[in-house]
Amino acid sequence: MTNQKTVSIVGASGYTGGEILRLVADHPHLQVGQIVSRTYAGQPVTRVHPHLRGVDMPSFVEPSALQACDVLVLAMPHGQAMREIEKYAGLAEYIVDLSADFRLRTPEAFQRWYGEAHSAPAWLEKFAYGLPESNREQIRQSKYVSGVGCNATATNLALLPLVRSGLLRAERPIIAEVKAGSSEGGATANPGTHHPVRANVVRSYAPVGHRHTAEIQQVLRLTDVHLSLTSLDIVRGALATAHAFVRPGTTEKDLWKAYRAVIKPEPFLRIVKEQHGLYRRPEPKLLAGTNFADISFDLDETTGRVVAVCAIDNLMKGAAGTAVQCMNLMLGYDETSGLGFRGIHPV
């Protein structure tokens, strides 16, 4: 297909890189260009991405071999993209950076949460924050899009309807507890990811100070919102449980209205709130490999507490899937192109 745009990926040996490759390979309007990894240069992609067995795809190449392409996806560790952004901008018209380098809108916020000065502050305003549900029009008009933090995304999507509806009770804090799998930690082994240690854990990780808090505060425009993370013995998936308080008198019906208003128009958001059946609220396992975010809400009428829950696949809606959704927006394709997989059950 001569009209396909070429997507090259830098830092392609990580889990997000592997998912980008899978999605681009099956995308009707995109094709894989170069696959860059310093560590794995010269080796077949299947060495680290076994799900790509049988797919026609080039081997990893050295960073120095990178050539011009239509879309460049940067999937490097935090701090690298901002140092080389000028170089990459010379190679591709469109850039999606999956690191945290261009997620925050101000150098001050970056400094505060990432503990160093931003090395390319002028570029911050050129990047759109890549969450279509909160920022679609800006993404459509951008050449540069930043990826999203997975825990931030689950939390943001759970809470967006409450924020937009104005139902929140301002003086009360919002607490978001995200439960996540081991793929969030990336593809590099360390003593804490050794299977006998990591298996079966319910590990309080970053109970305070989690960096994704910054993205939540930025997207929701709230300050009194707090994030904790608990790591589970699953590989994929994140579930945000967000506790917020609504104004006295708020009813279940008000919440339905607020959630429907935000969720119904969105191609990848779904309300999962059922009286019957085996899965009555969002369940991350059902979303593995998909770009959906499933959302529920429960109201305690006595106390005004709302518990909003959002399940995602952290590597998809929380990273690679949303990135492809942004590419579709930037390039003018149907927003759902290449993102049709609906998941399997039982699983």
Regarding 334 and contact with a copy of itself (CB under 8 A), the answer is: no
Regarding 239 and contact with a copy of itself (CB under 8 A), the answer is: yes
| Site track 65-84 with a copy of itself (rule: CB under 8 A), x = hit | --------------------
Q: Pairing between strand 293-300 and 305-312?
A: antiparallel
Is 310 one of the annotated active-site residues of the chain? no
Q: Pairing between strand 69-74 and 92-97?
A: parallel
Regarding 272 and contact with a copy of itself (CB under 8 A), the answer is: yes
Quick one: 101 or 335, whose CB is closer to a copy of itself? 335
Number of residues that bind a copy of itself (CB under 8 A): 91
Task: Using the Cα atoms of residue 178, residue 209, residue 326 and residue 20 in order, give the sign of their dihedral.
Answer: negative
Instruction: Indicate the helix (H) or strand (E) that contains 231.
Output: strand 225-232
* Candidate ranges 2-10, 93-101, 271-279, 321-329; the one touching a copy of itself (CB under 8 A): 271-279
Regarding 106 and contact with a copy of itself (CB under 8 A), the answer is: no
Regarding 51 and contact with a copy of itself (CB under 8 A), the answer is: yes
Residue type for 15, please? Y
Taking the complex as a whole, how short is the minimal distance between the CB of residue 321 and a copy of itself, in angstroms? 11
Find out whether 221 and 169 touch, Cβ atoms under 8 Å.
no
> What's the rounded Cα separation, in Å, for the pair 181 and 343?
17
> What's the rounded Cα separation, in Å, for the pair 173 and 72?
39
Tokens of 36: 């860059």
Taking the complex as a whole, how short is the minimal distance between the CB of residue 231 and a copy of itself, in angstroms? 9
> What's the rounded Cα separation, in Å, for the pair 166 and 172?
14
Quick one: 139 or 299, whose CB is closer to a copy of itself? 299
Regarding 188 and contact with a copy of itself (CB under 8 A), the answer is: yes
Q: What are the two backbone dihedrals, phi and then psi, of residue 97, each rounded to the nearest 5 degrees?
A: -105, 120
Residues 294-323 that bind a copy of itself (CB under 8 A): 296, 298-300, 303, 305, 307, 309, 311, 315
3-state secondary structure of 180: strand
Quick one: 57 or 91, whose CB is closer to a copy of itself? 57
Phi-psi bin for 11: left (phi > 0), alpha (psi -120 to 50), beta? left
Taking the complex as a whole, how short is the minimal distance between the CB of residue 89 and a copy of itself, in angstroms? 31
Out of 69, 150, 310, 326, pick the active-site residue: 150
Taking the complex as a whole, how short is the minimal distance between the CB of residue 317 and a copy of itself, in angstroms? 13
Regarding 172 and contact with a copy of itself (CB under 8 A), the answer is: yes
